[in-house]
Structure 1
């Protein structure tokens, strides 16, 4: 459905709003009802609103269907796709671990020569009857009769952990029964019968033929022929078994190792054993050697001590409980919670799941909802009320509202949406982490709390970062953080611990239960003196989940089967469920570990189904408004019991049900169902995550979609989205590679244009300007042919940015004028704002700073009206420059501070670096305060290096050099200027080459070196360079000339600065030119009234406008004049 909407929007040239429409669940039906007010509330600018409304009004129902949204929520499926749930119910078969037995009579040929057909039949019937009796006595199921032999399985249709031992016992019993029978046959007929028996254990597909009491069972799969092969190689009177069966039954059997045998279809020979005897349970108990158990009492003592310390001293720590599946991690933390409740401590929980978690149900969001007292499954109104309450009672600051809305899955109000959209991913994640930490601190200040996050082994990198932040938080408030994880998959390594800054942390590794603890658990089910209790205790091996499930099986009626694996345990309990509940458990296992009853009812087509039997038998339990499997391994066991084709069919059905409510889970289910629509679903899910600012998640989904995509169009769209995401995440090299793949996949001009624009954006970020211009030329040709005005606007903007950095001023202006024209023709306010920004840069580059300031002002005005915060951030620092050049210093510093603040809030390093360059200029050229400027200059260099801008790095190094020069650190200053010069020689001198040479000239004490530097700078300016070089270089050149007593040079540079801005005079240039001329005249020795008056006027001007550094030399000149006047006065 949303893919169709996307295509419709792209057909209108408004594809940029596809993610917004998908996020707001705008489908075909909703689309026709949209009003101007609706679109305005969505934050869509006026121009696109008009185009949308016109398209909606003019299109008939059929016209809307054609270019856009189809009726189905997903692209239509072909007849070859997976069957639905009803088809699955008709399919026989279930996966189960079993032991297969084959037995065949030998020696029957000699008897048939002596007996007629009826006598032969009766004789062989007697043999097979005895074999069947042995099978059925030992809980086996006869599947087939094959000539003189029989095939049977153990562990199905009713699952049993004992299947290997049962098969061994049946094999030996049938051998004994046939031996007894053979004695009688030999006495009557003079010939002897024998049988061969083969065993092999493994997973099979159990097939049901018929219904009810008339049902028969069969098995298929690789396990079956291997068992048959064991029978074929067995000697008459022997039982041969494979290593798999021997391992499962090893505790109970004695077997002799034989030579390996080859089996067709298996590369390596199979190990073979000859069964000799089955030991009694009493023998096994007498010989058993238990390993020492690791108990729980020590852990509880530890926890109580940590809890008391937390309550008394007001700060806590992190407790990390690790152990194998089923070892009792969940049970232990539940005991922690009970102890905490006794001490008046509140408990809040989060659970990490590998799959099957809906919106708002991940560990961190669950924890946040718990801290705010929001029940699981609560509607938007409840969440909004909780958010308002948290803000009203000062648990959170108003500035954190935007992050809280995200954590509670609440829509952002219009006034916050633009700000949140403009933030980058790390900024949003940091903000949300701060909200969780603030809630933890505020909630624990009222009442100590225990936060529990289970199954951290499933956590992704973003969640691990939250947990590291929480570990730091609990160390400074009355709270404990308890996390659980499997040992295999433990993710809390050195890197994670480094992020906690050595906050208090203790690891508890769980081993098996102590015997007394196991006995205490047994008493909840049966008397500990019951012989079954001892058997359960021995079999469980201290694993509490094994023991609990064994005891539940026994209490539900199974006094014989004693499963020795979780899979068999789950299947054994499932086989005793009513058919409807058994089916429900399997279907629920496909949804995931946590599931909604409503969805399960839909899948079962049973509106009244309530899961009461499953809850009563503790296979699932309620967790707020949703249901959850009692243990992850129960869900896995139920899931594994399904045939692969059944799983796939169910996953597809679940995915289709979730297509509108949860695009991410929809994609994952279609993926697991091997559905051809999975790649397209991943594209939809990734776009939705990108709209929600979950860029890391969006990228992972895109990568998975690419791994599955076969269709060219899917691979194109996914590659283009990957490029966009990687550029947004600060990975421009990866973005370039992705866009190149998209370009290779493009099959029509429109796709080619968009791929080239994305590629050019990546090249802009990495400052590969030659390639950028080449790619944009190709894009422009195609875009012109297809009248793609919005695309042409962006192409010209990218070209203009390249020309700007290269100092190609005429080309820069022309490109940006064309960009503004195309932007206005396209009706895109965003494109117009960006075009104004680039055109202002062009005016700035060619020295028309008044015009540039006006265009920056218009751009910012437009951004603020339309909520284009990120474009505003990129331009606010440059707008502040206009105030600097008007000598409005107070206003400059205020706006520059606002620019820095906005850039830092958005985590926009380029915007911050640009604002820092302006700030350095104000602090050094104006106030002459090197120590105030030092951190700004060093931060600018670090930022530029971080996002790979060599040009801005060189500019930052220039200001680092001036900081050192004004601080008296000449050697260090020269090192900075030389580093900047090396970059300029590599990247081009046009961006800031004259400023580098100006710094060298000012710093050097050697006039010849200074003169050479000035000459090189003059040469660059003569060839053409960016306008800011003129404004800052000429004052440096004047100062250097004055230092070296070259008064003519100082006067020449003053004239050059004034001439450069004669078309658009600037107070900055007028002042510095007049200052240079006046000081040159004074240094020549002129002391006439005109010179003195000019020096005083300039000194007063500098004092009025805060030009501290410029005033120093003026004060010195006037002081010298005053001193001379006093000396020339006659003495009285």
Structure 2
């Protein structure tokens, strides 16, 4: 803040010459002058000192320009006192002069006193120095310290007094005499044209209502959509002036035209604003400010939240924060960042409602768009308002946001599409801006016609009238001159802007062009560095502000200028000759390197842009690579992908086939990694293949060699598993680790679209990794153990799967939670698929939570999926429901599609196993739709199989046949379908055939029985053969096979299959299907054609009673109703 002291020079001598009443009268008048002027500039009089005052500017009312306000007040007092002292001299014959002193700096302020008397006061060295400035000043003068001078020198004239001896200070200090304000060219009301907002009252009211809803606890999302110049930013500016905004926290971010490759730019913008981080802050200072901001909102989770928010913002971490994110990368990092940002905003809304405004969203980077899509969902549950401001017609950014909101948040969505002003509104805007005497209606009509209702066009045309002297400001109003008759109204907004820019004085015009190369917004320090050759920059900037071409703002205490409209920046930029533009881009890049060299990593993307535009290809490539690395570090995979693809394109254009192979491999590897992080599996595999080929570790295309390798790799694995002395103990080199890492990621990617190749490549990995000491391979046991799942998932060999698990158990580090998670997960996969369910241990919540903290979502989700699948088969439905909710939370908290997909599969599975058929049908339809959208064919096929079974049980045979047709088409398109996905489809085909066969037998439609019998037999055998590879469906397939033989009157065979079904159900511990087999036996034994009255000494009715008891224990109401029907029919 700025402290102001003023007193009467020679007050003691004055008091001796006059009586007390006269002195009191003089001082009373002086105090009134000082009070009026200090209050005029919103200062606070802290105390009266008898012959003067002490005042504060910047507290208790905060002002960023407190030094300027104090100087204005001091000059106003000086001017008023000049006239006042003349009156005192005339009336009383004495000299009366005031003097003043100002100093700017930190001050301790607060209430001092007891309960009866409380004063707001200030203390500290800043106050003392202000007082010394006052006592050092000559009568009638104003003396300011160096601190105040630095703050106000752009706006006032000062005379340097050099070093001045100040009481209480050992060394002399710089002091300056405040002389006057700086005269600005053509400043004042003759340049400023303002208008009330026209034609947007309803839109503003609609916007204000959404703020009120946030204040009252309800969130929403508002999109303000409109073409350039239509008034989007003005609408937001008007909202900020409404009283309701005092009840919320407003955070603003802005995307910039070069920002499509600047990772999270608008999000970082608003986070810096929230944490009060300025560009001058060192990395340590910036992190400290962020730490303070988070502690105020979410102190209990500071250690968890800060590392991930800071990583998003590109900050360098150290100590415990660095340790927290160590080893977390790719998708894991992305999901943890999302989770923590969401939780931080959620906590912030508990303190005060949030209004988040993102301007120019159409220019945003894809990582910001993806993050915003996730954050917007907070509107469903939190008191938060998102206001997105953008132009239409940008598919990848703003149009995508609109589509997302309409699809997922329709109830919380408000759309404000700004339309052009109609004729009457346009005329009102012109009149509001100028209130011109003598402006012909024909001129107004021309403006209205050409503008097409665009407010910015109208404003710029009117300003051009002033620039040309066609309109002048005289006697407080605008008037038309004769020049109006020669004015030509431009046809386009670009013509208007270029005409205004061209009319600027040459050096000012050059300054505008330099600024346009920097961007829509530009820091003062960069501009002065680039445009240093242009004289008197400060005055020129002030003039550009006055003619309203630019405006300034203090972003976190850093002076920044901003083109008032993006169109102005675009017009100025396009007017620069191409070669000159390139030179300016290089100068801008060079200046950024100089000014921000201590935190250059924050500007890599911007430097890549400027060097690329400046045709410095070496530098462009260098910063593209650095920007890509930074983007990957902050989980901005989309921007990393763009940078690396641009770098690859640049590299190949420059060098062609002569380019360095290793550099090409690095670029392709990074592109593949970015695709992998984004879940674009096919694209990731394409680039991983290319890199591995360059490294001499690619896959052969020769089918004969490929077949030979498959056999060789399998035999090698078997030999190593059963003959320990054959295992390798080599230490892997760096390149070996890189190859294994890439091959492993390629294998994970292949899971989703080419399971056959996944298996072949998996064997290659196992052969390679077992030639090393696995413990010395990076993530060795995680890679090794994961391939156990490959053998059990495909049911190719449960023995090999178990061997791999046993080897891992004996050798791996059990304290490594990542490796332990893989082992536990793959163990559940093996035990579930092979049918050793008793080996599955209870769900390990502690292990899950630890792995969620490091972002191991894939393993956590898979483990949870397989575990829930097992307990559903065991009839533990309540426990399954709880864990499905946990899986759903993982999907929501981390925006993890695999968890969301599996949740649909499991909900469908638990509902159909519990025979809640109508609920199951609704869930399966939703699941199939979601799985189709994210292209997960395997789980989709699983859901379709369950849907067919549900439709059959509901007697919707036509619907079942139609669903079966869809499933069959999916199966035919895939070369290899794992048992987990295909068995439900095969069983549903068998169930349809059985239903149709039984229906024909009961209706005595003999012409179809023979054909249906053959069809049912074939589908039954196929289902049975596949169920041998997948234990969960075996018991049910055996029961259905028994039903088949019963229907064709081969009762002995039927009973044999039912006995096998019972044995399998008892072995697995699967009460739902075991009870249904009991019910089937009881029902069939009661039929007239039955040759059996009992099985294993148990009668039909006893089987039904056993089934009833089990159904009651599991609360299976549908099955109990079936039993009641059987009882009534018999």
Q: Does structure 1 retain, via aligned residues, the 8 Å contact 2:1016–2:1044?
A: no
1:17-96 residue pairs with structure 2 within 5 A? none
Equivalent position SS for 1:507:
coil
Q: 1:930: how far off?
A: 0.5
Q: Does structure 1 retain, via aligned residues, the 8 Å contact 2:335–2:855?
A: no
1:730 equivalenced with 2:704 (yes/no): no
Cα 1:765–1:532 change in 2 (3 A) is same
Q: Determine the structure 2 residue equivalent to 1:813.
A: 801
Alpha-carbon separation, structure 2, partners of 1:586 and 1:514: 18
Q: 1:879: how far off?
A: 0.8
Equivalent position SS for 1:503:
strand
Which 10-residue stretch deviates more, 498-507 or 879-888? 498-507
Alpha-carbon separation, structure 1, partners of 2:264 and 2:331: 26
Cα 1:808–1:547 change in 2 (3 A) is closer
Alpha-carbon separation, structure 2, partners of 1:874 and 1:924: 21
Note the alpha carbon deviations across 1:338-359, whole angstroms, 9 max, x for none.
Answer: 9758998998654321248999
Alpha-carbon separation, structure 2, partners of 1:478 and 1:1019: 56
Q: Does structure 2 retain, via aligned residues, the 8 Å contact 1:1103–1:1111?
A: yes
1:1056 equivalenced with 2:1056 (yes/no): no
Alpha-carbon separation, structure 2, partners of 1:1041 and 1:722: 57
1:627 equivalenced with 2:615 (yes/no): no
Alpha-carbon separation, structure 2, partners of 1:427 and 1:1006: 58
Q: Determine the structure 2 residue equivalent to 1:876.
A: 864
Cα 1:732–1:782 change in 2 (3 A) is same
TM-score under structure 2 length normalisation: 0.57
1:458 equivalenced with 2:363 (yes/no): yes
Alpha-carbon separation, structure 2, partners of 1:805 and 1:484: 48
Aligned alpha-carbon RMSD (Å):
5.9
1:303 equivalenced with 2:190 (yes/no): no
Alpha-carbon separation, structure 1, partners of 2:361 and 2:852: 43
Note the alpha carbon deviations across 1:954-981, whole angstroms, 9 max, x for none.
Answer: 2211111122122221221233234434
Q: Does structure 1 retain, via aligned residues, the 8 Å contact 2:1058–2:1081?
A: yes
Alpha-carbon separation, structure 2, partners of 1:1066 and 1:522: 90
**Which residue of 1102, 1107, 1121 corresponds with 2:1111?**
1102
Cα 1:865–1:676 change in 2 (3 A) is closer
Cα 1:887–1:596 change in 2 (3 A) is same
**Which residue of 864, 878, 893 corresponds with 2:881?**
893
Q: Determine the structure 2 residue equivalent to 1:572.
A: 507
Alpha-carbon separation, structure 2, partners of 1:601 and 1:721: 37
Q: Determine the structure 2 residue equivalent to 1:764.
A: 751
Note the alpha carbon deviations across 1:490-533, whole angstroms, 9 max, x for none.
Answer: 99987665556472312343424487665567899986799999
Q: Does structure 2 retain, via aligned residues, the 8 Å contact 1:807–1:1026?
A: yes
Equivalent position SS for 1:353:
coil
Alpha-carbon separation, structure 2, partners of 1:491 and 1:1022: 48
Q: 1:419: how far off?
A: 11
Note the alpha carbon deviations across 1:242-287, whole angstroms, 9 max, x for none.
Answer: xxxxxxxxxxxxxxxxxxxxxxxxxxxxxxxxxxxxxxxxxxxxxx
Q: 1:947: how far off?
A: 3.9
Equivalent position SS for 1:504:
strand
Cα 1:1062–1:1000 change in 2 (3 A) is same
Q: Does structure 1 retain, via aligned residues, the 8 Å contact 2:335–2:894?
A: no
Q: Determine the structure 2 residue equivalent to 1:995.
A: 987
1:912-951 residue pairs with structure 2 within 5 A? 912-925=900-913, 927-951=914-938
Q: Determine the structure 1 residue equivalent to 2:832.
A: 844
Cα 1:321–1:375 change in 2 (3 A) is farther
Cα 1:520–1:726 change in 2 (3 A) is same
Alpha-carbon separation, structure 2, partners of 1:672 and 1:752: 36
Q: 1:613: how far off?
A: 5.4
Equivalent position SS for 2:415:
coil
Equivalent position SS for 2:198:
helix
Q: Does structure 2 retain, via aligned residues, the 8 Å contact 1:977–1:1000?
A: no
Equivalent position SS for 1:573:
helix
Note the alpha carbon deviations across 1:1040-1081, whole angstroms, 9 max, x for none.
Answer: 666777653442223223454787655566655555555555
Q: Does structure 1 retain, via aligned residues, the 8 Å contact 2:891–2:899?
A: yes
Equivalent position SS for 1:511:
helix
Alpha-carbon separation, structure 2, partners of 1:808 and 1:1117: 42
Alpha-carbon separation, structure 2, partners of 1:544 and 1:339: 32
1:137-216 residue pairs with structure 2 within 5 A? none
Alpha-carbon separation, structure 2, partners of 1:1094 and 1:1014: 27
1:352 equivalenced with 2:255 (yes/no): yes
Alpha-carbon separation, structure 1, partners of 2:1074 and 2:237: 79
Q: Mind listing any 5+ residue stretches in structure 1 that lack a counterpart?
A: 1-294, 550-562, 576-581, 1122-1132
**Which residue of 949, 954, 957 corresponds with 2:944?**
957
Q: Determine the structure 2 residue equivalent to 1:654.
A: 592
1:503 equivalenced with 2:398 (yes/no): no
Cα 1:643–1:945 change in 2 (3 A) is closer
Q: Determine the structure 1 residue equivalent to 2:30.
A: none
Q: Determine the structure 1 residue equivalent to 2:128.
A: none
1:714 equivalenced with 2:700 (yes/no): no
Equivalent position SS for 1:676:
helix
Q: Does structure 1 retain, via aligned residues, the 8 Å contact 2:744–2:765?
A: yes
1:902 equivalenced with 2:894 (yes/no): no
Q: Does structure 2 retain, via aligned residues, the 8 Å contact 1:512–1:543?
A: no
Q: How many residues align?
A: 791
Note the alpha carbon deviations across 1:400-444, whole angstroms, 9 max, x for none.
Answer: 999988887899999999999867969987997999899899977
Alpha-carbon separation, structure 1, partners of 2:377 and 2:1060: 62
Cα 1:515–1:858 change in 2 (3 A) is closer
Alpha-carbon separation, structure 2, partners of 1:1103 and 1:928: 13
Q: Determine the structure 2 residue equivalent to 1:96.
A: none
Q: 1:775: how far off?
A: 3.3
1:1025 equivalenced with 2:1029 (yes/no): yes
TM-score under structure 1 length normalisation: 0.57
Alpha-carbon separation, structure 2, partners of 1:833 and 1:471: 31
Note the alpha carbon deviations across 1:420-473, whole angstroms, 9 max, x for none.
Answer: 98679699879979998998999779xxx8x87555563445666889998998
